[in-house]
Amino acid sequence: MHEEIIHTDNTPKEKQNYVMLKLGRTPAYGWPAFKQVAKRAVSGELLVGLWITLKEMVKTLFMGGKHTTMYPFEKMPIAPRYRAIHNMLRLLESGHYRCIGCGLCEKICISNCIAMETRYDENQRKEVSEYTINFGRCIYCGYCAEVCPELAIVHGGRYETASEQRASFSLFDDMLTPIDMLKQQQEFAGFGSVTPNADAAIKKTPLAY
C-alpha cells in the first residue's frame, strides 16, 4: 500500500515524514465483518476515548489546563496582519492626510462598500471631500489597503464592530489618525508580517495528540 510520494513543483524538495497507515479494506459482509465487530467490541477501543476525555477533565479541573480567555475582560493581542476597521493615515511630516483620492480602493472593493467624493480644490489639487466605508457590507478582505499607492488606507485593530444598525458607516474623519495622535501613528507592517511574540504564543492545543 505504501507508495512513494510524488512531488509537484511547488512542494518542498526534501523528504517528508508522512506515514501511511496500513488499514486494509473494511469487511462489509459475513464472517469477516462479524469478526471485526466482535473484536472491536471486546478490545475496548471505545473505552480509550472515554479515558482520554476523563483525563482531560481532571487536568482541566485540578491541574490548570484551561485554555479559556475571559474575552471582554481579557483580550488576546492581535497580529499585525489582522484586518479590522480601517485606519486612514497621515503624512508624518506635514500631518496632511495621505489619501490622494485616486479611487483605486473604491474600484477594487469587491463588496462595493467604499464611496468617495473628490473635487478640485483651491490649491489646484484633487481633494477628498468625503469618504465612507459601509461596514455593513465590508468583508475586510484587505484589497483596499493592498491597492493603495500612498499607504493611506490600512487595516487597524478595532474589531469590535457590533452596532445597533445592520449597516454602520464610517466617515473619513472617523478613520483618520487624530492630529494629536500623529506621533503614535503606527506604520503598517505589511502583508504577511508576523506577530512579534509568535513563537511564545504557540501553545499545545487539544488537537495536538
Partner 1 sequence: MDALVVGTIIKIVLVLLIVSALAGFGTYIERKVLAFMQRRLGPAHVGPFGLLQIAADGIKLFTKEDIIPQHANKFIFSLAPVITAATAFIALSAVPLFPTFVIPESLPLIGGAIVPSIIADVNIGVLFVLGMMAAGLYGPLLAGMAQANKWGILGSARTAVQFLSYEVVTGLSVLAPIMVVGSLSLLDFNNAQTGGVGSWLIWQQPIAFILFLIAGFAETNRTPFDLLEHEAEIISGYVTEYSGLRWGMFFIGEYANMFTISILAAVIFCGGYGDIGFVPGWLALLLKVTFFFFLMLWVRASWPHIRPDQLMWLCWKVLMPLAVINIVITGIVVMI
Partner 2 sequence: MGDMMNDNKITLKIDGKTCQAQEGEYILNVARANGIFIPAICYLTRCSPTLACRICLVEADGKRVYSCNTKAKDGMEVTVSNQEILEERRAIMEVYDVNHPLQCGVCDQSGSCELQNYTLELGVDSQSYTIADTARETANWSSVLHYDPALCIVCERCVTVCKDMMGDNALGTTPRGGSELNKELKDSMPKDAYAMWNKLQKSVIAPSNDTGSTNCSDCGECIAVCPTGALVSRDFEYTSNAWELKRTPATCAHCSSGCQIYYETKPTSISDRSEKIYRVTNEWNYVSLCGAGRFGYDFENRTAVKNEEAFGNAIEAFKAAKAIRFNSVITNEEALMLQTLKEELGVKLINPDAKAFQEFLNSYSAASGKTLWNGDYKEMMKNSDFIISVGSALRHDNPNVRYVFNNIQKMNKGAGLYFHPVGDSLIAGLGKNVACIEHKVNREEAVLYWILDRFANKDKLPAEISEYLASFHTKTAKTISETVMEDVKETVVDDESGESKEVVKKIPKTIQKEIEVDSSALLEAFDAPADFEDLVEKFLAKKESFALVVGEDMYFHPQADNLAKLVALIENTTEFKVSIVPPKTNSLGVALICDLDDDASGYTIGYNEAGDFRLSALGDGDLDMPALNQQEGTLTNMHKKVVPTNAALSYGGYELNDIMNALLLGKRLTIDWTKELPSKKGFQAVEFDSLPNRYTNDGVEHRGYMLESQKTKITVSMPDKMTANDMSGDIAYRCNPQRQFNEFTAKAHQIFEPFALYVSPAKAETLGKKAAFDINGKEFVLDVVIDEKMSGEIVKLPDFKHSSEIYAFFGKNRFKPITLRKV
132 binds, among partner 2, partner 1, none (CB under 5 to 8 A by kind): partner 2
**Closest CB to partner 1 among 18 and 31?**
31
Q: Does 52 bind partner 1 (CB under 8 A)?
A: yes
59 binds, among partner 1, partner 2, none (CB under 5 to 8 A by kind): partner 1
Handedness of CA 190, 192, 198, 201 (dihedral sign): positive
Q: Does 37 bind partner 1 (CB under 8 A)?
A: yes
Query: What are the start-end ranges of the H helices in 63-139?
Result: 104-108
The count of residues interacting with partner 2 (CB under 8 A) is 22
What are the grid coordinates assigned to 85, written together? 476597521
3-class SS of residue 108: helix
Q: Does 24 bind partner 1 (CB under 8 A)?
A: no
Q: How far is the CB of 65 from partner 2 (least distance, A)?
A: 52
Q: Does 132 bind partner 2 (CB under 8 A)?
A: yes
Instruction: Report the C-alpha gap between 206 and 208 in whole angstroms.
Output: 5
Q: How far is the CB of 85 from partner 2 (least distance, A)?
A: 18
124 binds, among partner 1, partner 2, none (CB under 5 to 8 A by kind): partner 2
Cα torsion through 185, 178, 96, 117, rounded to 10? 120
The count of residues interacting with partner 1 (CB under 8 A) is 18
Handedness of CA 46, 49, 50, 52 (dihedral sign): positive
Residue type present at position 124: Q
